[in-house]
Amino acid sequence: MRTTRFAIVLCVLLALAAVVFGFAASEPAIAPIAPPPTASFDPALVQRGAELAAIGNCGVCHTAPGGREFEGGVALPTPFGTIYSTNITPDADTGIGAWSEAAFLRAMRNGVRRDGAYLYPAFPYDHFTLVTDDDDKALYDYLMTRRPVRSMPPDNALPFPLNVRLVMFGWNLLFLRQGPYRADSAHDDTFNRGAYLADGLGHCGACHTPRNVLGAEKVDGKFAGGEAEGWTAYALNASSPAPVPWNADTLFQYLHRGFEQEHGVARGPMADVTGDLRSVPDNDVRAIATYIAAHMPSTGTAQQAAQRPELQTPRGTAVAAASADSQAMRAAGGNGDEGAAIYAATCAGCHEGPRAMPYGGIDLAFSSGVSGPSPTNLINVVLYGLPAAAEARNPIMPGFASALDDNQLVALLRYLRGRFSGKGPWNEIERSVHDARNGDGQRPAGPADSARYNPAVPK
Amino acid sequence: MKLNVNNRQHDVDADPRTPLLYVLRDDLKLNAAKFGCGLGQCGACTVLVDGEPVFSCVTPVALLAGKAITTLEGLGTLDDPAPIQRAFIEAQAAQCGYCIPGMMMRAQALLQKNPHASDTEIRAWLEPNLCRCGTHLRILSAIHRAQAIMRAAQAGDAG
């Protein structure tokens, strides 16, 4: 009896608390507007907004493969459930056509919809909060001049209580540090420009920084490496796995072209990023490269690299390719096991052949895929290849998903790791292979000009 | 080494690094699969390995011990063409014809797994195979025709 009364009192108190909390946490709706005519926007700002949208990779999440631009509906798998991206075309009913500039700024800064509901941080407003008013306005102008598409994304598949958007009030209290970006006077303008772009609109940390149990980026783990859609996002800090340390120049080449011959090829979600960055002014890409490179090791790993003679003569920089004799020796250089035989027969023709990147394969001693913390990216590329990109000289590779069975693939991966990485063996390769072959919600290894413009690669 | 091609065991005297395509054409005289780019980028050399399409120009025979290889010759003959072959002939899907064996094999792999594949699925599935003549619409129409022939044959079996 007493327990029942206590339970009732508790329920009433909780309900009251919820009402008070709900009141405190609620955000007002911002009045809808009629979508402004395209001609009312300044073309110069629209152009700037297009570059900013490329830096922010808006289309990667808001345009479905084969879908119409910015209509949303892309499934974003998260540890908490599946979130579907929204329609950000200027359609008044299903997109953001009724959003005023103020509503757009609030969404970018505070993660709140025009109608006052909270957005989920799958939309990285924890980064976008750093964006300046001017840049937000240019983005707004760009999006509001796109073709309106009437399209409603599916409902999110989130469990209770996460499906109650109000809980994001608490998340924001805990984790949202509002902008705008404040320049670091200890560094020059290029570095600060890069920091503003990479930490803000570019939201590099969304994939490259590990997250805590509540899905927020770990403050003490900036750029320590993460994962995205079945791909490893390599560490961009002192624990970068690159055999040859990155610097601002090589990173610029990589971000600008989608590959770099002493590091590798952008694939999976990163291919979308580099595909977008091709349309971004060089100065901005260079600034991002400068900022990110400043987090990377410069000397320590370089000394380690110096102890690995195979890293001293990148093939393709030299005019003369390795002689046929030395190729044959390298190809047979393993311990005669199955992996070595598969490598020699299947891979060496391109990866030790006379052609330089992009039409020859990378020297695998330089590949972050081989020296990375997990075999995930390497498996994805071996299975599904590197499809050709439209209108760009980009690395290509056929996929071997049907030619290699699981045992052959595992033997090959073990051999590549042992021969080329200078690191210890990977754990649980078999499971990684199984996951890559059967992974759901995984982005295939699309061409570097953006996977989203192509139909889904059938499994 | 031993290779299982079109349900027959062949003893092949070849370096294990030799691409399957060369063994098929030069040693076994199975000339349907074509050498196009040699880089696994055009699909003219497509054959089936355990029912899945592979680019035979970049698949060394070393990988193929114990696996079932199927070429276009293994599907049917001039006198008794398989549904996919009959459909391509009836739809007159070939212009120069160089890409067609690869197209047929890749389509065959899809229809074996999913006889009711939609037009969208067929288009996406065939994306790796290139045709420079531009007969894509005839090829698509032939694949739909093959589906119809297969369905009719199944209905006939059932009846």
pLDDT in tens, B3-50: 999 999 999 999 999 999 999 999 999 999 999 999 999 999 999 999
Instruction: List chain A domain ranges.
Output: 24-175, 189-453
Confidence band of A20 (pLDDT split at 50, 70, 90): low
Is the Cβ of A336 closer than 8 Å to some Cβ of chain B?
no
B54 closest CB neighbour out of A345, A388, A403? A403
> Per the structure block, which two tokens stand in for A195?
């920091």
Closest residue of chain B to A408, computed from CA coordinates: B63
All residues of chain A having their beta carbon less than 8 Å from the beta carbon of residue B127 are 454-455, 457
Q: How far is B62 from chain A (nearest CA, A)?
A: 7
> Per the structure block, which two tokens stand in for B139?
């090829």
Do A403 and B59 make contact, defined as CB atoms within 8 angstroms? yes
What average pLDDT does range B125-141 have in this prediction?
95
Going by DSSP bridges, is the β-strand pair A259-260/A75-78 parallel, antiparallel, or unpaired? unpaired
Burial class of A19 by CB neighbour count within 10 A (0 to 12, 13 to 18, 19+):
exposed
Distance in angstroms (rounded) separating the CA atoms of residues B49 and B71? 9
Do B54 and A408 make contact, defined as CB atoms within 8 angstroms? no
Arithmetic mean of pLDDT over chain A: 86
Confidence band of A11 (pLDDT split at 50, 70, 90): low
CATH code for the domain defined by A189-453: 1.10.760.10
Percent above pLDDT 70 for chain A: 81
A341 closest CB neighbour out of B53, B62, B110? B62
Q: How far is B13 from chain A (nearest CA, A)?
A: 16
Q: What is the ipTM of this complex?
A: 0.92
> Per the structure block, which two tokens stand in for A188?
């020059």
Is the Cβ of A398 closer than 8 Å to some Cβ of chain B?
yes
Confidence band of A16 (pLDDT split at 50, 70, 90): low
- Among A402, A457, A459, the residue to mutate for chain B (most B Cβ within 10 A): A402
CB A387 within 8 Å of CB A449 = no
- Output A233 or A23, whichever has higher pLDDT: A233
What average pLDDT does range B153-157 have in this prediction?
83
Question: Dihedral (C-alpha) A130, A133, A139, A145: value to the nearest 10 degrees?
Answer: 160
**Distance, C-alpha B150 to centroid of its chain:** 16
In order of their start, the domains of chain B are 2-71 (3.10.20.30), 83-158 (1.10.150.120)
List the Cα angle A289/A293/A297 in 5-degree steps.
Answer: 165
CB A263 within 8 Å of CB A244 = yes
Range scoring the smallest mean pLDDT among A66-70, A152-156, A198-202, B113-117? A66-70
pLDDT in tens, A83-132: 999 999 999 999 999 999 999 999 999 999 999 999 999 999 999 999 99
Q: How far is B85 from chain A (nearest CA, A)?
A: 23
pLDDT in tens, A206-245: 999 999 999 999 999 999 999 888 889 999 999 999 999 9
pLDDT in tens, A277-330: 988 999 999 999 999 999 998 755 554 555 566 666 555 433 333 333 334 434
